[in-house]
Structure 1
Amino acid sequence: MGKYNVRPDIDAAAEKAGPTLGSRREIEQLPGVLWEGETVDMLATGLYGGGNGLVALTSMRLIFLKHGLFGQKLEDFPLANISSVQWSAGMLMGTLSVFSSGNRADIKSVAKPQGEGLSGRLRMLIATAKTPATPAAPVPPQAGVQDVASRLATLDQLRVAGAITDAEYQDRRTAILNSI
C-alpha cells in the first residue's frame, strides 16, 4: 500500500498489506473513525455493501470503510460481538464472512494473502476472548459512565470532522444512550 505518513500503526499495517488499489482516501480518513486508544493491526481492501473499500482489523473491532466523493460508508463489528469467521478463497481473491450478533456480513474480493491473515487473526482473537480466565472484578458504576461519555465525545468529534452525517450521528448517539 505504500507509505502514507498517517500514523505509525496505520503505516505499518499498510506496509504489511502490500499493494492495493483505491484505498488511499480510506487510509487517510481512518484516524477519524478510530476510537480513543484504538490501534490498527491489519488492512486489506474488499467489496461490501455495493462498494469497494478498506477493511481494517483494530485492537477493538473489524471496520469496513468506504470514503467516496458523495459520502462515506462505515460499518464496524466489535470484536466482542463476532461469534465466528469464515474464509473461502479462489486462486487470487476470496470472501471473508463475519458472523456477528446473529448476522452475516460477506466482504468479497479480498486478496488471498490478506484474507487468510485477517481470518486467522480474527479466529485467534475470538478464541482468546472466549477462553475462561480468572473472574473479573465487578466494574464500578462510574467506569460505565466514563465509557459512555468517551463514546459520546468521540461521536461528536466524528460529526464535527464530517466523518459521519447528522442522521448517522443521531442513530449512533441513540444507540449509545440506549446501551446504558
Structure 2
Amino acid sequence: MKFRGKHLQSGEQVVAWGDGYIGEMMGKGKNTQQNGSMIVTTARAIFYRAGFFGEVNETIPLKAITSIERKSFMGHRSIRLHTSHDSLEFKSFKKEQDQILVDAIESGRSVTHPLPTSSQVEGFNIMDALTRLAELKSAGHLTEKEFSSKKTELLSRL
C-alpha cells in the first residue's frame, strides 16, 4: 500500500481499510467520483487515492469526529463522518468491510490519551529546578540565603 510509505506518521498504525469511493457517480467538479480506500489508523480516518497524475488524501483526526452516519439502500452503503465544521462520505458495496471500518473508527474515538495534570508537569520541572539550584550553590554561584529563599519558593509550588 503506497499510503504506508508516504503518509503514515511516526507511531501511527493502520487499524482497518476498505475499498470504495467518495463523490457522486457521474459527478462533476468537487463532486467527481474518486475511487480509493478508506484507511483508519490509530489517530486518523483517511480517504486515500493514488492515481497516474496525483493523489487524493482527505484526513479527519479521530478525536475530531463528532458523529458517524450510516446508510444502506439496495446493497449500496455509505459512511458519513461528521466533524464540527465538515463531513466526509465514503461509499461502498461491502457490508462486512463497512462494519469493520465503523468499529475501528468508534474504537479510536473512544481511546483517551490522558494528559499530565499541571501538578505532574510542575512537579517534574520543580524537581529539575531544585537539582539545578543545588548545582549552582555547590559551584559557588549562590549564597546560602539565595539558595534557601529559592528552594522555599520552589517547594511551595509542589
TM-score after normalising by structure 1: 0.54
Matched, 1:123 2:97: no
Residue aligned with 1:38, SS: coil
Structure 1 residue 137: Cα displacement: 2.0
Per-residue CA deviations over 1:75-95 (Å, capped at 9, x if unaligned) read 111111111111212343310
Matched, 1:63 2:46: yes
Per-residue CA deviations over 1:107-146 (Å, capped at 9, x if unaligned) read 11252111122113322332444xxx97742496xxxxxx
Q: Which has the larger radius of gyration?
A: 2
Residue of structure 2 equivalent to 1:34 = 8
Are the counterparts in 2 of residues 44 and 114 from structure 1 also a CA contact under 8 Å?
A: yes
Q: Distance in 1 between matches of 2:61 and 2:115?
A: 22
Per-residue CA deviations over 1:118-175 (Å, capped at 9, x if unaligned) read 113322332444xxx97742496xxxxxxxxxxxxxxxxxxxxxxxxxxxxxxxxxxx
Q: Distance in 1 between matches of 2:6 and 2:67?
A: 27
Are the counterparts in 2 of residues 44 and 110 from structure 1 also a CA contact under 8 Å?
A: no
Q: Distance in 2 between matches of 1:39 and 1:134?
A: 19
Q: How do 1:7-86 residues align onto structure 2 when only pairs under 5 Å count? A: 27-49=1-23, 50-86=33-69
TM-score after normalising by structure 2: 0.61
Residue of structure 2 equivalent to 1:98 = 81
Q: Give me the identity figure in percent.
A: 24
Per-residue CA deviations over 1:44-81 (Å, capped at 9, x if unaligned) read 01211420001100001001111010111101111111
Cα RMSD after superposing both structures: 2.4
Are the counterparts in 2 of residues 45 and 110 from structure 1 also a CA contact under 8 Å?
A: no
Q: Which moved more, 1:45-54 or 1:35-44?
A: 45-54
Q: Distance in 1 between matches of 2:81 and 2:114?
A: 28
Q: Distance in 2 between matches of 1:85 and 1:112?
A: 16
Residue aligned with 1:70, SS: coil
Q: Which AA in structure 2 matches 1:28?
A: K
Are the counterparts in 1 of residues 16 and 39 from structure 2 also a CA contact under 8 Å?
A: yes
Residue aligned with 2:66, SS: strand
Residue aligned with 1:101, SS: coil
Residue of structure 1 equivalent to 2:90 = 107
Are the counterparts in 2 of residues 87 and 94 from structure 1 also a CA contact under 8 Å?
A: yes
Q: Distance in 2 between matches of 1:127 and 1:90?
A: 28
